[in-house]
Amino acid sequence: MRLSRHFFSRDVLEVAPELLGKTLVRRFENGEILRLTINEVEAYRGEEDLGCHASKGRTPRTEVMYHRGGLVYVYLIYGMYWLLNFTTGREGIPQAVLIRGSVEIEGPGRIGRALKLDKSFYGEDSISSNRLWIENNKNLPERPKIITSPRIGIDYAGENWAGKHWRFVGIL
DNA sequence: TCGACGATTGCC
DNA sequence: GCAATCGTCGAG
């Protein structure tokens, strides 16, 4: 069953760990379906979070994070990799969950490459999209064991924010 | 308009 | 250890 708007409309620190074990689904143009079991995510929470892109305020790139939950936020990193996020929370408060890894494919850049993401996915509504969404996974326990750690690659955000354990890894 | 830099990856 | 590669954003 596809995750609802309601699911994504909560605080990112609630939503992020609950995405562990869920199934990321990509339907390609030729009809082929790719399913990945999410096992690693990170939370990015508000303008005050110096590790969050929205700490720079509302810009063309961060705009979608200010919208309602359940939307796709993709961006190009190092000119090579499209990283995948889903917005969470309520209109006006910028939040997103970065999909860092899955059981089948590890690494945020590799996920984007496998899903053939590009800028056309920016703002896509995962609640109604026919090419990218997330489903519940009936074959896994509802409450998987979770390990937390600091988020990866945001040392520039300073100790206060880089030190927060907002990376969640599921032992599935 | 220009230049620095990045929520990464893979090869030397 | 470091290059690849380019969109974004702040400075000028």
pLDDT band, residue A151 (cuts 50/70/90): very high
> From CA A128, how far away is CA A132, in angstroms rounded?
9
pLDDT band, residue A130 (cuts 50/70/90): very high
Q: For residue A62, give its domain range.
A: 5-171
Collapsed DSSP state (helix, strand, coil) of residue A78 = coil
Write down the residue that tokens 């009809």 correspond to: A31
Mean of pLDDT values over A84-89: 98
Protein-covered nucleotides on strand B (Cβ within 7 A): 6-10
Could you give the number of structural domains in chain A? 1
- Cα separations in angstroms, A111 against A2, A22, A102: 20, 15, 8
Mean of pLDDT values over A28-47: 98
**Model pTM above 0.85:** yes
Does residue A38 surpass a pLDDT of 90?
yes
- Cα separations in angstroms, A136 against A29, A34, A142, A152: 23, 15, 9, 26
**Considering only residues 105-124 of protein chain A, which place a Cβ less than 7 A from any atom of strand C?**
119
* Residue A102, domain CATH: 3.10.300.10
Quote the pLDDT of residue A140.
Answer: 80
Q: How many angstroms is C1' of B3 away from CA of A104? A: 39
Does residue A142 surpass a pLDDT of 80?
no
Q: What is the pLDDT of residues A25-36, one digit of tens each?
A: 999 999 999 999
